[in-house]
Amino acid sequence: MDLLDSINFAYSLAGLLVGVLIGMTGIGGGSLMTPLLILVFGIHPETAVGTDLLYASATKSVGTGVHSIARSVDWQIVSRLAMGSIPATVIALYGLTLLGPSSHETSGLITGVLGTALFLTAAALLFRGALVRIYADRVGELGTKRTNWATTVTGFVLGILVAISSVGAGALGVTALLLLYPRLPMVRIVGSDIAHAVPLTLVAGIGHWFIGSVDWLLLASLLIGSIPGIIVGSFMASRVSEAILRTLLSVILAIVATRLVFA
């Protein structure tokens, strides 16, 4: 009863709205939830990122379970990504501890990286098709060894972005995998990206917990709203134009990124 009394249902409502969007579009919650916590609720950037990482690991676990049952996860790709992302996460977290928890420098770094990641996410959503075509025309398919190496490097970049900003494991990860594995069905691209996001966000979230930047009551409040939201959004996905949603989200993310970077 004490836990229910401590739940902030304004956060739960935010979790519900973000959950619906995640279910409808598959876009990573970090792109939506972290800016919302910082700009609307005034949560400290480091706390917003740390809490959102554990929030993402919980929600992505559900998605991974669904994709695993459907056998739409390429675990070799997941392992290659993790070989780069997990060490990168540890490095990034160590860098944050050197700057100092809740310091002005840490806040500036997080908001700067977050704004940049949101700009990149908006571009990936809006221009994904064009990027894939240009890449196919100018680069084409890499050999197996180069693809494996590039996948690990991609994981390293995603690990840095996610550990600092909680953004990158969604639209950016999917876009990178589309470029590297053009013959892989889209459902396996998405499934592999979601599966990789679970250990990545979990390790990063635990690291932020040790740093002291996780608000457990905030996390519980968000999950209470987001879990049913994801379920509702998943049922609504086939009834709404994906192109319209992606365009709308791209515009929103670009506006939010501008607000964060130039505030």
Q: Return the pLDDT at 1.
A: 46
- Cα distance between residue 204 and residue 211, in whole Å: 11
- Cα distance between residue 86 and residue 97, in whole Å: 17
Structure tokens given for 64: 């991974």
- Cα distance between residue 124 and residue 171, in whole Å: 6
Give domain limits for the chain: 2-262
Task: Give the closest residue to 21 by CA, choosing from 244, 190, 226, 251.
Answer: 226
Q: Determine how many CB atoms are found less than 10 A away from the CB of residue 186.
A: 11
SS3 annotation, 62-118: HHHHHHHHCCCCCHHHHHHHHHHHHHHHHHHHHHHHHHCCCCHHHHHHHHHHHHHHH
Q: Return the pLDDT at 88.
A: 97
- Cα distance between residue 76 and residue 192, in whole Å: 9
Q: Return the pLDDT at 227.
A: 82
**CB–CB of 225/12 below 8 Å?**
yes
Average pLDDT for consecutive 10-residue bins of the chain (263 residues)?
Answer: 65 86 69 86 90 88 78 92 96 89 79 88 84 83 88 96 87 87 86 89 94 91 86 70 75 82 69
